[in-house]
Amino acid sequence: MPPIGKNNGDPEVLLFTDGACSGNPGPGGWAFVMRHPASGKQIERSDGQRETTNNRMELTAVIRGLEALKRPSRVEVFTDSVYVGKGFSEWLPKWKANRWRRRVKGGWAEVKNEDLWRRLDELLSTHQVTFTHVRGHTGHAENERCDTLAVAAYQRYL
């Protein structure tokens, strides 16, 4: 793999994320591992909430990771969340076009987790982000690490 640099299309930052809940809703945790391959630097962060949902924690992990960046960057986000991946690639443009509403049988409904989707949308306007889906709990080292951190974050609320 060629070195990552400012002038090629490779990501400058690799962001691995995960969310977890004990019950849905229930106590939840989020975590990310961020790596800057050019410098070799890596950070890990996690936290939790007493009462939340798994989808909120998955989104929060991505948001907190992007918020940790100090300047606009090219980022590849690795997530096991189909919800986050489809939301980013398929649903978000439609929701924005429909004034943050989604179509349901017989009309319109509010977008679930709209506050988090709006924040993610703001961050996506700052950073060049691509999403890569990884299968959860299949031995992907960074995904497993994020899961461990997210579970530890919610366990203090049990």
12-62 residue pLDDT tens: 999 999 999 999 999 999 999 999 999 999 999 999 999 999 999 999 999
Report the catalytic residues: 18-19, 58, 80, 137, 147
CB atoms closer than 10 angstroms to residue 113: 18
The arrangement of secondary structure in 13-155, i.e. its CATH architecture, is 2-Layer Sandwich (3.30)
Cα–Cα dist 30/39, whole Å: 25
Look at residue 136 and give its three-state secondary structure.
coil
pTM of the model: 0.92
Residue 135, amino acid: R
**Of 136, 127, 22, 36, whose CA–CA distance to 78 is shortest?**
136
Mean pLDDT value of segment 121-142: 94
Task: Tell me if 102 sits within 8 A of 94, measured CB to CB.
Answer: yes
Mean pLDDT value of segment 85-109: 93
